[in-house]
Amino acid sequence: MAEKRDYYEVLGVEKKATDDAIKKSFRKLAKKYHPDVNSGDKNAEAKFKEVNEAYNVLSDPEKRSKYDQLGHAGVDPSGFGGGGGGGFGGFDVDLGDIFESFFGGGFGGGRSTASGRRSAPRKGADLKHTIDITFEEAAFGAEKEVNIARMEKCRRCGGSGAKEGTSPVKCAKCNGVGQVNVRQNTLFGQFSSIKTCDSCKGEGKTIINPCNECSGSGKIKKTVKIKATIPAGIDNGQAISQRGEGEAGARGGPNGDLFIVVRVKPHPTLTRDGFDVICEIPVTFVQAAMGSELEVPTIDGKVRYPIPEGTQTGTVFRLKNKGIPHLGGGGRGDQYVKTVVSVPKRLNEKQKRILREFAEASGEEVSEQRRGFFDKR
């Protein structure tokens, strides 16, 4: 008889391993060597038994303590032999989670609950559609018409999937439950698990004579026109919802919803900051020095705005209530106008003479050939 291997070595853990580490390693090895995964492999079957024997000892604090002190002689070999009853060969381990990973369900029970979920009405899928709108449409709102392709309930069969004059019938394989009880023989005995019926795909009904329009699916693809109201003040990337305009529901469930996402086109001169509008206005040297009335673009159209003499570049003026309307009402933001003074690059002789006279009148010394600060060394 071959000498037994060290139990810690069998499970691939250190002697000081925690209970969780031992359990984790056992689960991994049990799944690896399970007979149902390694059909006909005697070596895998032997390893599976060895792994279970090791875990039976190391998972029990008292047995583990004796094993640590005396080795294999410290544990009673009869505890692994048989006579434990229950079809488990005396093993004390919790294998529920392992069998669930193999067989896809619990042991008994749960049928009515799962079946109830499958037969209950189910809401249809939600849809998303993106539309482009102008800066002004985002500010003041708009009415849009969009084309949406979606699955709708077949009108010919009313969504049943059955040909006119016929109805779906109870599935013969699962007797209308939508699930079947599958029995499997394992090393530990016979186990049963609940699986979705492959005949009716969990519906509990089968269609003998499918509808000619939808081929038995109960739904058809259709493109519809939907009117959407874009609210004033909406911003780029935001969405509006259209209740019940999504995909058709199942088993009498409600339709899904449609979410329309707006993509706002850039404006040539205006930008948005929350509910405020920002713009930059070029101002000539003379306008800035002497003051002037500027023509300023706004979302309401062009307006005249006076700037005082001596306006510097970067000066910001506020146009109250000329910004974006607040979503849901309650006022508007403001518009901020930033002035950018443009200094002429090329001057004719007359312009230069006038500027020299201006400098002399201001007591300013002008040297046209003066080197710049960064030219000095």
In a domain, 288, yes or no: yes
**Order of strands, sheet of 316-319, starting from the edge strand that comes earlier in the sequence:** 271-273, 276-284, 335-342, 316-319
Decide if 240 is inside a domain: yes
Q: Is residue 355 part of a domain?
A: yes
Q: What are the per-10-residue average pLDDT scores of the chain (377 residues)?
A: 82 91 90 80 88 90 86 64 38 48 45 51 91 96 95 90 88 85 69 80 85 90 94 95 92 90 96 96 91 94 94 95 90 96 86 83 69 50
Token couple for 320: 């109250």
293 and 330, same domain (yes or no): yes
Sequence-distant contacts of 213-219: CB under 8 A, at least 24 apart: 213/154, 213/155, 213/156, 213/157, 214/154, 214/156, 214/157, 214/161, 216/161, 216/162, 217/154, 217/161, 218/153, 218/154, 218/157, 218/159, 218/160, 218/161, 219/151, 219/152, 219/153, 219/154, 219/159, 219/248
The answer to whether residues 42 and 77 belong to one domain is yes
Same domain for 154 and 31: no
The pLDDT score that the predictor gives to residue 194 is: 83
Pair 276, 258 in one domain: no
Residue 347 within any structural domain of the chain? yes
Answer with the one of 94, 119, 138 that is the final residue of a domain.
94
Residues 231 and 345 in one domain: no
Q: Which residue has the tokens 């032999």?
A: 81
Helix (H) / strand (E) element for 195: namely: strand 189-196
Q: Look at residue 257 in the predicted model and tell me its pLDDT.
A: 95
Domain contains 208: no
Task: Single out the residue in 206, 231, 264 at which a domain terminates.
Answer: 264
On whether residue 2 sits in a domain, the answer given is no
Identify the pLDDT of residue 259. 96
What is the model's pLDDT at position 115?
Answer: 47
| Total domain count, the chain | 3
Residues 255, 137 within the same domain: yes
Residues 279 and 258 in one domain: no
Judge if 256 and 275 occupy the same domain.
no
**First-to-final CA distance of the chain:** 97
Residue 90 located in a structural domain: yes
CATH classification of the domain holding 313: 2.60.260.20
Task: Report the pLDDT value the prediction gives residue 77, as an integer from 0 to 100.
Answer: 55
Q: In this structure, are 327 and 238 located in the same domain?
A: no
287 lies in the same domain as 351: yes
Residues 326, 304 share a domain: yes
Q: Which domain holds residue 63?
A: 7-94
Whether 105 is covered by a domain: the verdict is no
Query: Locate tokens 């006022």: which residue?
Result: 331
CATH code (residue 49): 1.10.287.110
Task: Say what the pLDDT of residue 84 is.
Answer: 38
Q: Which DSSP category does 163 fall into? A: P
Burial level of 187, CB count in 10 A (0-12/13-18/19+)?
middle
Tokens 């669930």 correspond to: 100
Q: Quick one: which of 302, 246, 254, 226 has its CA closest to 123?
A: 254
Q: Give yes or no: residues 15 and 66 share one domain.
A: yes
| Domain end call among 264, 294, 328 | 264
Question: What is residue 107's predicted lDDT score, i.e. its pLDDT?
Answer: 42
